[in-house]
Structure 1
Amino acid sequence: MMTVKSIGSQGADGYAEYLDAKTVAPERGDYYLGHDGEPVESPGRWLSRPETLRALGIDPGARVGREELVALMQGRRPGTEEHVRPAGPTGTRNAGVDVTLSAPKSVSVAWALAGPEQRAELEAIHQQAVTRTFAFLRDSVPLTTERVDDRNAPTVARDLHAAEFRHSTARGLKGRVPDPQLHSHLVVMSVVKQDGRIAAVRDRAMYRAAREGGAYYRAALAQGLSQAGYAVEPGTGKHGRYFELSHARPEVLQAFSGRSREIERAAREFEAREGRRPGENELQLIKITSRQAKAPQTSRELTDAWKQTAREHDQQPIRSRTKARGFHDIDISWGERVERALTHERATFPARELRATALEQAAGTLDPDTALRRVDQLVDVGRLIALENRQFTTRGLRELEHAIVDRAADMAHPDHSRPMVSERFIGAAIDQASERIGAPLSAEQDRALRALTGPERIAALEGQAGTGKGVVIDAAARVERMSGRTVIGVALAGATAQRLGQDSPALAGRTTTIASLLAQHDRTGDRIDHQTTLIVDEAGMVDTPTLAELIKVAHDTGAKLIAVGDGKQLPAIGPGGMFDRLTHHAPKASLEHVRRTDDPDERKAWRALRQGKPERALAHYLARGQLHLEPTRDQALEAAAARYAKLTQDHEVAQVALMSDGSTKEIDRLNARVQHLRAERGELTGPTVALPATDEGPHYGLRTGDLVTWRQIQTVPGQARIENGSRGIVTHADPGKHTVEVELVGSERRVAITGPEQLDGRRLGYAQHVVRQQGATVDRAIAVTGGWQTSRESAYVQASRARQGIDWHIPRDELGETGTDIDRVQRLADRMTKSERKTPSLDHTTATDRTVEHTAADRAIDLSAGAEHLTRELPDLRITPPAPAPTPDLSPEI
């Protein structure tokens, strides 16, 4: 992990005092605690080159002295008042940048449980990784500028004024045993330009390099640990970006990461109990009351406390093997893991992300410098494809996109083996649909129905939010069934598939998830055939690999596929954007007339948000008093919960959508607050069945009257399973049996949820993330937004859920401290303009320049290896002749 923090112009003395207070030279090379319980660490060391230090009058072999450190942070030559670094435009000099490199928790645990010799070994491995990472950052990150062609061009420095201070504990509460955390602070004070001048650090460049630098450090650390004989487990954490030592138990890692979790958990329990977040004084009280009775006063007491925690979780000391394990720089799966990680979320990625991913996947298997060189080789052999605008994609994903387009184009030809759809069937379906909604179908709905039921084996329906797509889907399903075909409705999410069956009666009991459909087809091969019609709802949210598999099955079996969606709403979680591409190759119908609301001004607001013109929409909501600015996000959450509680006095709880684009913890907080308000009004009755308490889970229970949602699938013997995202009202709660009975929203079906395992997958369902509301229709909506998560797509989905309007709750503190509220509304509009739309790689042409820029040193390396060399060195690449380009936009050489 690498974090970056700027040290302000007034921060030199205070920051040096913090470092100095924790870096007093220890006695006998051991670790002790000071009189206040703080750990006493090793002294700081200089990272600058010897010649750089001598030019400043500093002995390269000396320890970092406080006076020298403060002088350089202030931009002065040590021992003098001479400034070696010019002041900035404001006349001040920033003290520099703190780059913190932290070892994975398992390494810190191994250090905590080790004896003096093993601790020294782990410290040496960490120090070597820090030294290598510092050199990598110095030689690759453009931390300064040079004048080139009358402009300042970012460039790497010749050297840096920098020092390292190693610490071994996380910041803890006073009186509490601190968690072990082996880490180093790299204080970078100034840069030495290539011509020898000294200048300030471009801290933004260091911020941008944080992920790449952290990945380099972990790869270098894993290499050192592996060479020392430690068993390294790569691919841990989010998206497999991290590593841990193999013999560290997950429970003990959590136990030694307790401070922040403990405080947050206590704060959430306070909020669930009191119905609000704790104030500053109350939070301080929570911190005090969470202290242990007696804090350790010596190194031995601290080590004993750590060992006691380890014993409680059956964790043995983590040792290296008696014989050092050789570190091999060949890993047959590295290339595949890099590709998979790069396209986990998007089809294209910049060079910086490519380098960071290569380093992340190298931890425990490849030397980091070797991994960076291999990136160029992946491009050379065609595994990675360089695109315009300095973007890249993988050959595998691009081939999937081509396969979707090719199969869709083939299925778009009229299938003359199928009998033409009878006009009588179309008329009957229109009559039935009209009778159900109590109004005739519009001309555009009629045209859409005929397009979807044409002779082609693929069709697309693009419909804006609230345009009555469900009516057209229902009518199309009726026509297909009258024609003797088996119709199946599918969606990516189980709740969306379930809602599809509710909104389209012709599909009732005939919907499922895409994953379930494909899995059953793989098992039996008999559910989909040439007499099958698949209707895919919310197709814009289907990721490219899933869509490719679904279209392949439809194409190969002779089935028909109808894709329904809106490319302007929320995109796929993974690589996506192919629904819009699909509409260029398949017969397409569009629905534009909004029917969800009768308010013409509300329709205009939705259209403006959809078109990326949020100023018009926000002016509409501001004029109607539906845009509420609160001082902080906590207050915005409180106001949103109060408004929900008020609206549900006149509307069913399931008919008011309370949405946030924040974290799951924020959703839990909103839910707990709403529950408290409803309980105060007497809307919740009977006893409480507690949900299993975890560090990450909610801290509330369920009572009769609560709205609950499923966060995982629940199987019910002899009945249809309950999908992830389903919601229901608690009709009975029995703490003795640890059971709640729930009636599903939209049906009269009742189910029992019994025992900790089933209850663990349930949450209160008052508030939900915006992604779970796409496709829903309610009476009223409330949204908490305005932070960095805000986007054009999320704002459009939030606004267009409700028939009778939306209330926006916006935190002022996330929109800047300067200016007026009108200025903040403009900043909100700017954020609502930002698009998170996923684009396929096919939207980009290939680039002629396929070079991946790395460090200056890497650019000097000759990577023009031939195929014979690559085959010998990179067996995982399985080099094959490049496939001929299936479409003209691909370069012939790929």
Structure 2
Amino acid sequence: MIASIEQAHNSHYLVKDYYHSDNERPGVWVGSGAKKLGLQGEVHSEQMVNLWKGYPPEGDKKLVQNAGAKNRRAGWDITFSAPKSVSVAWGVADDKLKTKFEQAQQRAVLDAFQYLEDTAAYTRRGAGGKDAQEKVGLVAATFQHGTSREQDLQLHTHGLTLNIGTRKDGTTGALESHHLYQAKMAAGAVYRGRLSSESQQLGYKLSITEHGTFELSAIPKKARDEFSARSYQIQDYLNEQGIASSPQNKAKAAAESRKAKFHVDDDRLRESWQERAKKHGLTPERLQAARKEVKPLSEFDRRRKQQHMLREALDQSLYYKSAFTERELDRALAENSIGKGLTYADMKAEKQRFFKSKNAIELEGGKDKEFTTKEQLDLEEKLHTHTMNRWQDKSHTVNSQHLFEAISERPTMSKEQRTALTHVVNPGGVKVASGMAGTGKTFFLDAARETWEKSGYTVQGLSLSAKAASGLEEGAKVKSRTVDSFFGSIDYRRAQQEEKPMAVGQQKHSGIGSKTILLVDEAGMVGTKKMTRLFAEADSAGAKVVLIGDARQLQPVQSGGAFQTIARQVGEVELKEIRRQKEDWAKESVHAFADGRAKDALDEFDKRGLLSVAEGKGQLQAKLIDDWAKGDGAKEPQNHLILAQTNDEVKQLNRLAQAKRQELGELKERNAIVGKDRFFEGDRIMFRQNDRDLKVKNGQMGNILRVDNLRKQLIVGLDKSQRVSFSYETYDQFGLGYASTVHKAQGVTVSNSYILAGDGAWDRHTAYVAASRAKDSTKIYAEGDPQKRKAVKEKLSERMSRDAQKQLASDRMKEVRKAREPRRVGQQI
């Protein structure tokens, strides 16, 4: 993988033993640019020094305009690190197998550099690089290393990419670096894909892991952990500094906590490694015995695997949004090549086939070209058809007397809520109500449910998450379930009918019909595929669909944009009168965040002393926790919720909150260790997985009332007074619950909230959700120099105003058509 791409500094990269220690292989030149300069095979230091300064290997002329300048960017270190199991196998193997792993590593690095040269090697001409970009050949020196700075096994290659590119006409120029930065994740995936193929060729089975990587099945986890001192050291450093462990922060921490390498004899090192591995049953003999005979891929199998790779890559690329860039497809192809015995050449060939096919649709109009597929457009067309069918169905009338009674029984219902109620119960097969956070949507939906039920309809509540379904059931008294559970019940019913003989002409029944109301809460979170199936089922059964949501809140995790498109097509009723916040300025601030006017909202928070600025993540988190404790968060954590954007930030804030409560004597001594975490009696926890037997839902919270280590049990009091008891050895999907991600907090109402505006992709949607959770008070914490408060606010408001609303591909096409018709990339082959 690419660990980092950093600006090169002469004082660091030209240290002799960094690249030329006795234990390491000599450097090797790669790239067509190197070949054009006459550089092949082993790297020599004199060549390196001259190129570093911007001169040719012989040092007789300038290759770039600023050659020899002290402030010149010399190049970038692109580091490719093998999965830990490959490193362990390399270190434990006998000499012959060790050499094979080194060759595999080099071939994988060559594939990655070929990808970079194909897609990310550009230079400009003219003074200041004002002329057009040109593709160039790369000049890079690769240095293969086998140890970390703690002398643990870590097979990796430094690809020193020089800031020199060779053009087709033989001239040279400096590289456009932003292309390298954009390509680094995809290049890392290409490297891992080829290394997985090489590992399979050596006869090893693979375990495909998350995040687009793999491990050798023959290497036990305990053996991998034995040689992971550096990764633990970096994590400890991040924890000490109060920094979230993002890839960027890990790379920075690696540099800041780096120790100088020290020399240890290669033979002594290998003996030490083999002794340590032996404790876990891993020896050179066992490593050799784990290899199996490998048959070469037939052309038929290779083609089949290429096609499979493309299908998976397209599914991955369209999972989160309805269009993708070529770079995103590259990464998806590479990640889905892992374990298939394929190379970059296979990936490149399959991508070219796709772009020549009728399935590839190019969308233009943005900064980067985006693409979608005919299959995606067909899916969206189906959604449109089913939506229009439902809209044209003017049945589902209700008794006006029942509607009048529902309104009369709720004297506090506002005019806006009455309008929304009337809209959704009026005749029609599809209705949409869009309501801002805290406008009392479940209040009017309870009246709608009553009206429908008295009029003879069955109301089925649906939501994407179990917690949201539970909230709908509690607030509107609608029997509710998740969308996936609803589909599962339909599939089960149909499977049961398949097994039983059916009468001639009898239709398979889905369990819903023309007297069914499908009430979908948080509909803005439902992705396109699920929304399409939902409307298809409703259309087939003649059921009515009522969508309740807010397109300005969090966007669907999956490819989405369906909610706002349907609302635009069939019309919607809106609720804007916020009832959750008490003060007018707070209500207006929520509106400002929702509208993308974060600056106005942040100014209001700052004016009232509710915006804190501190330098450094550690200080900022400490300030937040102190305020949380002083505001009775330590005594009543259920009324004081901490919000952050990333899981790593949430983990760190949870640890700090727990430590503060322990310091203040709010936690009892009795505790249990579950996984890597310790839980005390009195701790607040969040459940992370639905469990029907326990009747707990993902995102639900409670307090630990009792720890019983004899029975390995916890007794937890849930926030709604219910108690649950469970074995923490059987069910361990929970964590501390003082802090939550903004995503998990959508739909939650608390008295007070504390927002860490730190890492993560903040935008107007996340800012709006975070700022609208609390009834009484909300405090925001931003990182920066307190003396430069205005600049800190400007930077934060820019992030919090960014629009990240998802669109259907068909909507993007309509925008493109204003300029010209979108074109197919190629013809079917």
Give the shorter-chain TM-score range.
0.7 to 0.9
Q: Residue 688 of structure 2 aligns with which residue?
A: 711
2:798 to 815, 830, 838: 830
**Aligned partner letter, 1:377:** R
Q: Residue 514 of structure 1 aligns with which residue?
A: 483
- Separation in 1, partners of 2:285, 2:804: 44
Shift of 1:516: 1.5
**Aligned partner letter, 1:307:** A
2:439 to 458, 463, 467: 467
- 1:208 and 2:191 are equivalent in the alignment: no
Output one character per residue of 1:387-437: Cα deviation in whole Å (capped at 9) or x when no partner. 233211133332222222211111112444x4x311221122123344xxx
2:765 to 768, 793, 803: 793
Is the contact between residue 220 and residue 280 of structure 2 (CA under 8 Å) also seen in structure 1? no
- Separation in 2, partners of 1:368, 1:98: 21
- The 3-state SS of whatever aligns with 1:354 is helix
459-468 or 112-121, which deviates more: 112-121
Output one character per residue of 1:562-614: Cα deviation in whole Å (capped at 9) or x when no partner. 11100001111111111101112335211111111232212221111111111
Q: Residue 296 of structure 2 aligns with which residue?
A: 325
Output one character per residue of 1:646-699: Cα deviation in whole Å (capped at 9) or x when no partner. 22369843222210012x232122112212222333333351233232xxxxx2
- Separation in 2, partners of 1:491, 1:126: 47
- 1:358 and 2:358 are equivalent in the alignment: no
Is the contact between residue 691 and residue 702 of structure 1 (CA under 8 Å) also seen in structure 2? no
- Separation in 2, partners of 1:191, 1:398: 40
2:213 to 242, 259, 274: 242
Shift of 1:795: 0.7
Is the contact between residue 241 and residue 618 of structure 2 (CA under 8 Å) also seen in structure 1? no
Output one character per residue of 1:222-246: Cα deviation in whole Å (capped at 9) or x when no partner. 44444x45356486422xx334445
2:536 to 548, 552, 559: 552
- 1:741 and 2:715 are equivalent in the alignment: yes
The change in CA–CA distance for 1:769 and 1:320 in structure 2 (over 3 A counts) is same
- Separation in 2, partners of 1:535, 1:480: 11
734-743 or 602-611, which deviates more: 734-743
559-568 or 45-54, which deviates more: 45-54
**Aligned partner letter, 1:548:** T
1:593 to 577, 590, 602: 577
Shift of 1:153: 1.8
635-644 or 793-802, which deviates more: 635-644
- The 3-state SS of whatever aligns with 2:314 is helix
Q: Structure 1 vs Structure 2: percent identity of aligned residues? A: 25
2:632 to 648, 652, 655: 648
Is the contact between residue 524 and residue 555 of structure 2 (CA under 8 Å) also seen in structure 1? yes
- The 3-state SS of whatever aligns with 1:317 is helix
Is the contact between residue 781 and residue 807 of structure 1 (CA under 8 Å) also seen in structure 2? yes
- Separation in 2, partners of 1:314, 1:751: 50
Q: Residue 14 of structure 1 aligns with which residue?
A: 12
The change in CA–CA distance for 1:335 and 1:128 in structure 2 (over 3 A counts) is closer
**Aligned partner letter, 2:172:** I
The change in CA–CA distance for 1:741 and 1:303 in structure 2 (over 3 A counts) is closer
1:669 to 641, 647, 652: 652
Shift of 1:43: 0.9
Q: Residue 880 of structure 1 aligns with which residue?
A: none
Q: Residue 161 of structure 1 aligns with which residue?
A: 139
Q: Residue 247 of structure 2 aligns with which residue?
A: none
Q: Residue 264 of structure 1 aligns with which residue?
A: 235
The change in CA–CA distance for 1:120 and 1:714 in structure 2 (over 3 A counts) is same
Shift of 1:743: 1.9
Q: Residue 685 of structure 1 aligns with which residue?
A: 668
Shift of 1:512: 1.7
Q: Which runs of 5+ in 2 are unaligned?
A: 244-253, 495-509
- 1:757 and 2:730 are equivalent in the alignment: yes
**Aligned partner letter, 2:791:** D
- Separation in 2, partners of 1:767, 1:129: 41
The change in CA–CA distance for 1:311 and 1:554 in structure 2 (over 3 A counts) is same
Q: How does 1:198-597 map to 2 (within 5 A)?
A: 198-226=172-200, 228-231=201-204, 233=206, 236-238=209-211, 241-245=212-216, 247-261=218-232, 264=235, 298-305=268-275, 307-308=277-278, 310-311=280-281, 316-317=286-287, 320-322=291-293, 324-326=295-297, 328=299, 329-330=302-303, 331=305, 332-363=307-338, 364-389=340-365, 390-416=369-395, 418=396, 420-434=397-411, 439=412, 441-504=413-476, 506-507=477-478, 510-524=479-493, 527-597=511-581
The change in CA–CA distance for 1:138 and 1:685 in structure 2 (over 3 A counts) is closer
Shift of 1:713: 1.6
Is the contact between residue 142 and residue 157 of structure 2 (CA under 8 Å) also seen in structure 1? no
The change in CA–CA distance for 1:650 and 1:203 in structure 2 (over 3 A counts) is closer
253-262 or 124-133, which deviates more: 253-262
Shift of 1:194: 3.8
Is the contact between residue 786 and residue 831 of structure 1 (CA under 8 Å) also seen in structure 2? no
Output one character per residue of 1:75-116: Cα deviation in whole Å (capped at 9) or x when no partner. 245575865433289862112111222333343333223211
Shift of 1:539: 0.8
**Aligned partner letter, 1:677:** K
**Aligned partner letter, 1:800:** S
- Separation in 1, partners of 2:587, 2:73: 51
Is the contact between residue 31 and residue 138 of structure 2 (CA under 8 Å) also seen in structure 1? yes
Shift of 1:826: 0.6
Q: Residue 499 of structure 2 aligns with which residue?
A: none
- 1:775 and 2:744 are equivalent in the alignment: no
Shift of 1:445: 1.0
**Aligned partner letter, 2:670:** P
**Aligned partner letter, 2:652:** R
Q: Residue 879 of structure 1 aligns with which residue?
A: none
Is the contact between residue 194 and residue 344 of structure 2 (CA under 8 Å) also seen in structure 1? yes
The change in CA–CA distance for 1:639 and 1:150 in structure 2 (over 3 A counts) is closer
TM-score (norm 2): 0.87
- 1:186 and 2:160 are equivalent in the alignment: yes
- The 3-state SS of whatever aligns with 2:125 is strand
Is the contact between residue 314 and residue 329 of structure 2 (CA under 8 Å) also seen in structure 1? no
- Separation in 1, partners of 2:62, 2:129: 27
Shift of 1:622: 0.9
- Separation in 2, partners of 1:263, 1:135: 31
- Separation in 2, partners of 1:472, 1:41: 71
Q: Residue 2 of structure 2 aligns with which residue?
A: 2
| Alignment: residue pair count | 787
The change in CA–CA distance for 1:206 and 1:472 in structure 2 (over 3 A counts) is same
Cα RMSD after superposing both structures: 3.4
**Aligned partner letter, 2:335:** E
- The 3-state SS of whatever aligns with 1:574 is coil
Shift of 1:442: 1.6
- The 3-state SS of whatever aligns with 1:396 is helix
- The 3-state SS of whatever aligns with 1:804 is strand
Q: Residue 502 of structure 2 aligns with which residue?
A: none
Output one character per residue of 1:752-798: Cα deviation in whole Å (capped at 9) or x when no partner. 1223222x212121110001111122222110014352211111111
Shift of 1:149: 14
Q: How does 1:622-661 map to 2 (within 5 A)?
A: 622-648=606-632, 652-661=636-645
Is the contact between residue 271 and residue 673 of structure 1 (CA under 8 Å) also seen in structure 2? no
Is the contact between residue 37 and residue 56 of structure 2 (CA under 8 Å) also seen in structure 1? no
- The 3-state SS of whatever aligns with 1:347 is coil
- Extract structure 1 runs of 4+ deviating beyond 6 A: 88-91, 269-272, 294-297, 312-315
The change in CA–CA distance for 1:296 and 1:703 in structure 2 (over 3 A counts) is farther
Q: How does 1:127-138 map to 2 (within 5 A)?
A: 127-138=106-117
Q: How does 1:692-703 map to 2 (within 5 A)?
A: 692-693=675-676, 699-703=677-681
